[in-house]
Structure 1
């Protein structure tokens, strides 16, 4: 005997999804601005700026189309930024940029993960 699937409140999930998408864009833009300020104006170079921004830009077309897989790939990419940020935050000679990188990456990781999950829930509820 098959179990009945849980019914979900689609309005509540859609509301959470809207908030998560906004948070995604705020943190995503924040990371791009952070990398631009850090590398182009403070103490970096164009090469480092390109190295840091190109992985984020790879998922931009899919995020604009709101593809669930793009949010999942963004999570995988963000793991690199989170790891680098945490390692650098622990060094006493590092600046504020590393703390900002870690915070933005962690918030974006969680919101992208939840966006992906809530998109799947809404898709399955419409079936």
Structure 2
């Protein structure tokens, strides 16, 4: 029996990809701003700010170049932020920052994952 191939609407995938990339940049910038406000102005320190932002900055050049591997690494990095955010949200003494951290991390995780997938779909459709 022959294998069925799925026809991909490249225009629709390209549209989704651009929306996901925009969402990536909005959430990525949101996380960086959150860490700056949280650690430099509220109750953190420069050490914590560096600890939180450096992992995100490692994938910045690849995201700028739209490399699929960078989006995959971003997903791995975001798992740490999601885990820390969820643990801290469940503690009654924590502030609003942890909820924002969890929400931004989850949205960025899903959008980065879908960006990677749609990039591969577009690349495979071109061949």
Cα distance in 2 for partners of 1:87, 1:116 equals 27
Task: Report the TM-score when normalising by structure 1.
Answer: 0.98
Q: Which residue of 1 aligns with 2:119?
A: 119
1:23-61 CA distance string (max 9 Å, x none):
000000000000000000000000000000000000000
Cα displacement (A) at 1:3: 1.1
Task: Report the TM-score when normalising by structure 2.
Answer: 0.98
Q: Which residue of 2 aligns with 1:36?
A: 36
Gaps (5+ residues) in structure 1?
none
Runs of 4 or more above 6 Å deviation:
none
Cα distance in 2 for partners of 1:3, 1:11 equals 24
Number of aligned residues: 127
Cα distance in 1 for partners of 2:63, 2:121 equals 18
Matched, 1:23 2:3: no
Gaps (5+ residues) in structure 2?
none
